[in-house]
Structure 1
Amino acid sequence: MSDKPVTTARESGFELVTIRLPVIATFAALILGLGLGVAVSDADLPQRLLQSLGIVGSLWLRSLQMTIIPLVAALLVLGLAQMVQAARAGAAARRFLALVFGVLIVGGIFTAVVMPLLLDIFPIPESASGFLAEVPDDELAVPDILDFLGSLVAPNIIAAAGETAMLPLTIFFALFAIAISRLPEKQNASLMGFFHALANAMLLIIGWVLWIAPVGVFALAFGVGMRSGGGAFAALAHYILIVSAMGGFTLLLAYVVAWVLGGINPWRFARNVAPAQAVAVSTQSSLASLPAMLDSASRLRLRSTTSEFVLPLAVAIFRATSPAMNVAVAMYVASLAGVEITLPLAIAGILVSLIISVGSVSLPGSISFVVSIGPIAIAMGVPIEPLALLVAVEMLPDIMRTLANVTMNVAVTSAVDRGEG
């Protein structure tokens, strides 16, 4: 597979810019950087060279971080406005949205409960500690439940943005999006136009930053390879398998939804959804899989009026694996950094993941990784520095993401269709 062209136009009901991401080049830079770092781990390299590589990696990481808040704000407003509009479309749309939030909440809770147990059974390799070199040494105070509740609303939204307090920021912009939907048409169009332009501008910037990702990832990976040795490859493989396992739960949940709520035998569902799953794995795009999903719905004898309404809507505003896999990434990094995930922090992560998932569904994997997981990690008090390297291997977990998302889209459509009957 060559560099992955991604068009996000009209996927969420509004047009976003078309960008091109050097996915393969970034992955190759990760492998090359780790390999060279391991090869010279015992060599006495000039300190100036190591410092220069560190600065390059650090600048690239900061370039990713600076786009998170404005892009999240714009996409939240646009995505939630789309969801509010969908909720007004009728009973079928409201039933669909209820199923969406049910699936997302179940996925987030499953990860919050099972992920620590899974990491106890299959602990993170010690060599993974090399991924934490750029993480600040200062520890964040762990809030109790009352402190957590008190932090849900920020008295000064500008100060909250300066402190990257993601939970009150996401709540504010969620309320702001709902308020915009209730404004007169002319005022609504003006504000939506502003956030549309803001999203496009941020996507252009982050597209430029990701275009030079091979350079930044190579610089970071070289340092990790020197510190961790060959164990860095084992650590990445461990991460990919653990996070993908959380997506596997969503995949299995789709069969349960189709069986219990859609009334479709699991074997029959599996047989008819297989063509759509094949397209999902090969393209890693829910949008590209939409024709195959419509074909699978026809094979399952779902009403065309239901599938032709629900499936495009699902592609636009529903990414079933978001809370399960995104919270899993944040909890993995938390375990890596020794951050204790208390109940308030777990709740904060799930809440942010639910809201953020609405605004990230129109984005390709590399961008949505940064936009979706960064705010979750910040809300949970987890360092985001390791994400700069993990984004380079996102193309592998993204296969599970797309496979489970497409399967769940068809399953939810079957449940809505049965409700219509």
Structure 2
Amino acid sequence: MKAPSLTVQILGGLIGGLAVGSVLHAVQAPGETRLVAAADAIGGVWLDALRMTIIPLVFALMVTGMARAAETAERGGLAARALVVFAILLLVATSLTALVAPALLSVWPAPAEAAAALRAAAAGGLAKIPETPPLADWLRAFIPANPVKAAAEGAMASLVVFALIFGLAVSRLDSPRREALVLVFDGIQAAMMVIVRWVLALAPLGVFLLALTVGARTGVGAVGLLGHYVVVITLMCLMAGALGLGAALIGGRTPPGELAAAMTPVGAMAISTQSSLACLPVMLTACARLGVPEGVRGLVLPMGVALFRITSPAGNLAVALYVAHLYGVQLGAGQVIAGVLVAALVSLAAVGVASSVTFFTTLVPIFMSMGLPLELLPLLLAVETFPDFSRTLGNVAGHVGVTAWAARWRGAGAA
């Protein structure tokens, strides 16, 4: 009999942990405090083991990703313009999330009792949110005077900027040196991912222990809270996907009826596979149906699948804003802007990473740049399979939308 997938095992760990924790919460069993403290400590060790890989992994991904993106841009023409459009739409989608998600949560907040229990449980462990500094100091903070110190202190925003600049500098080196450096950082990335796979092998146990802790402190209210979280993140991902479709409707001047007919099989494939790559053949057919020249769809669409995940920074920032909402954290404008920039940059660079790894690789830098606690991330990973439907659906909408728009760019038809 085939063993359940890791996703199913993690989800099982979440359900089991919440169930056991809720029972402990209800019956107030003897020794409950010691048991919960032990579960929290062991689960925390597992989370720290995962967290230790993030800075070297993200830095290596940023360097290799930016170096390769710069090489693509140097080719000019359609590829360079597509990269610019990808970056702009990622920033727009993430910025829109920064405005809409807090507004949605103010109108429809998380279940009050469960959120209050989480806040009480986190008392003393929540990372302190710094006050927004003066504009000059805030801008200077993005350039690390000491990159090693920035890495040691977890100053993720400045570290990502340094990695971006370093990656661009690598792309300007002569071919032997460039290839040697990219190979080194690609090896670092591969080694970190091996460690991540080792740690994720223990994810069902780690999630069980952390879920037991949450269940013991919040009771069954945690279930309703996670359901609320799934709906909010799903809405933000679908909003980002709608922005991608807007590129086809407005930029590409595609009739709505034609776009809907072309997107129907793409959407069905996205929901059934939860993989943009698996949807590529169907997306190519959809773009051909919309009249996109073969030269355009053959270049822009594969580039989009590899680099352009419009729901990634939007959905990830929404996760950070949701956690801030749960803990009652009032984020300053500086923290939100830092989160937007880091989310967009990490999303553009973190390509070719397994989805189970991407969840932490892209979220931890955002959380660190905004000063948010990471303890809930394993629980949110366990239910990620539900908003992942909307992430894939939004991504394929963005891929087709930008490709349809690219068909109208000057000279695109001859590409």
Q: Give the TM-score range, shorter chain.
A: over 0.9
Residue of structure 2 equivalent to 1:12 = none
* Aligned twin of 1:276: 266
2:185 is equivalent to residue 195 of structure 1: yes
Identity of aligned residues (%): 39
Does structure 1 conserve the Cα–Cα contact (< 8 Å) formed by 2:18 and 2:211? yes
- 1:55 and 2:45 correspond: no
User: Which runs of no fewer than 5 residues in structure 1 stay unpaired?
Assistant: 5-20
Alpha-carbon offset, residue 56 of structure 1: 1.7
Match of 2:165 in 1: 175
Determine the structure 1 residue equivalent to 2:130. Answer: 141
Partner SS for 2:128: coil
| Cα-to-partner distance string for 1:58-84 (whole Å, 9 max, x where unaligned) | 111111111110110111112112211
Aligned to 1:31: 15
**Range that drifts further, 181-190 or 52-61:** 52-61
C-alpha distance in structure 1 between counterparts of 2:81 and 2:294, whole Å: 17
Q: Which residue of 1 aligns with 2:373?
A: 383
Select the residue among 197, 210, 213 that pairs with 1:220.
210
Q: How does 1:302-381 map to 2 (within 5 A)?
A: 302-381=292-371
Whether 1:44 and 2:29 are equivalent positions in the alignment is yes
Change (3 A) 1:35 1:178: same
Contact 2:241–2:310 under 8 Å retained in 1: no
Following TM superposition, by how much is the alpha carbon of 1:130 offset from its aligned partner in structure 2, in angstroms?
Answer: 4.3
- Looking at structure 1, the residues matched to 127 and 236 of structure 2 have their Cα atoms a distance apart, in angstroms, of 30
Contact 1:258 1:266 (8 Å CA) reproduced = no
Q: Which residue, out of 81, 87, 94, partners 2:80? A: 94
Cross-structure match for 1:10: none
Deviation at 1:299, TM superposition (A): 1.7
2:387 is matched by which residue type in structure 1? Answer: P
Q: 2:110 pairs with 103, 111, 124, which one? A: 124
Bigger mean CA offset, 301-310 vs 137-146: 137-146
Task: Report the Cα offset of residue 337 of structure 1.
Answer: 1.6
Q: CA, structure 1 residues 129+366, in 2 after alignment: closer, same or farther (shift >3 Å)?
A: farther
Task: Give the letter aligned to residue 71 of structure 2.
Answer: Q
The answer as to whether partners of 2:21 and 2:213 remain within 8 angstroms in 1 is yes
Measure how far apart 1:172 and its partner are.
0.3
Tell me, yes or no, if structure 1 residue 409 matches structure 2 residue 399: yes
* Offset at residue 364 of structure 1 (A): 3.0
Q: Distance in 2 between matches of 1:100 and 1:138?
A: 33
Moved more, 260-269 or 159-168: 260-269
Shift of 1:43: 2.8
Query: Which residue of the partner structure matches residue 254 of structure 1?
Result: 244
Letter in 1 for 2:13: A
Greater mean alpha carbon deviation, residues 81-90 or residues 191-200: 81-90
* Residue 168 of structure 1: how far off its partner (Å): 0.7
State the 1:138 CA deviation.
5.6
Offset at residue 200 of structure 1 (A): 0.6
CA deviation after TM superposition for structure 1 residue 36, in Å: 1.7
- d(CA) in 1 for partners of 2:30 and 2:277? 48
8 Å Cα contact 1:318-1:361 kept in structure 2:
no
Cα deviation 1:216-274 (Å, max 9, x = unaligned): 00001011111111110000001111111111111222221111111211221111122
- Structure 2 Cα separation of the partners of residues 120 and 244 of structure 1: 17
Structure 2 partner of 1:84: 70
In structure 2, what is the Cα distance between the partners aligned to 1:140 and 1:346?
Answer: 11
Which is further off, 373-382 or 81-90?
A: 81-90
Distance 1:83 1:245 in 2: 30
Show structure 2 runs of 5+ residues with no match: none
Q: Is the 8 A contact 2:245 2:400 kept in 1?
A: no
- TM-score norm. by structure 1 comes to 0.92
Task: Work out whether residues 36 and 216 of structure 2, in 8 Å CA contact, stay in contact via their aligned partners in 1.
Answer: no
Structure-1 separation of matches of 2:223 and 2:53: 29
Hey, what's the Cα distance between the residues in 1 that align with 2:270 and 2:353?
A: 16
How far is 1:367 from its partner? 1.3
Q: 2:129–2:370: 8 Å Cα contact kept in structure 1?
A: no
What amino acid sits opposite 2:334 in the alignment? Answer: P
Q: Does 1:156 align with 2:156?
A: no
Cα distance in 2 for partners of 1:25, 1:49 equals: 23
Which whole-Å CA distance do the structure 1 matches of 2:296 and 2:30 have between them? 64
Secondary structure at the counterpart of residue 254 of structure 2:
coil
Cα shift readout 1:114-142 (whole Å, capped 9, x = no counterpart): 11111110011120344453571562322
Kept after mapping to 2: 8 A contact 1:79/1:317: no
Q: Give the alignment's Cα RMSD to 1 decimal.
A: 1.7
Cα distance in 2 between the residues matched to 1:328 and 1:82: 28
SS at match of 1:40: helix
> Using a 3 Å threshold, how does the CA distance of structure 1 residues 297 and 31 change in structure 2: closer, same or farther?
same
User: For 1:315 and 1:85, how far apart are their aligned partners in 2?
Assistant: 18
Residue equivalent to 1:107: 93
Deviation at 1:346, TM superposition (A): 1.1
| 8 Å CA contact retained: 1:365, 1:394 | no
Supply the distance in 1 between the matched residues of 2:154 and 2:328 (Cα, whole angstroms): 21
Secondary structure class of the residue paired with 2:130 = coil
Q: Secondary structure at the match of 2:326?
A: helix
Q: Conserved in 1, the CA contact under 8 Å of 2:242 and 2:397?
A: no
CA contact (8 A) 2:293 2:407 kept: yes
Q: In the alignment, what sits opposite 2:195?
A: 205
Correspondence for 1:17: none
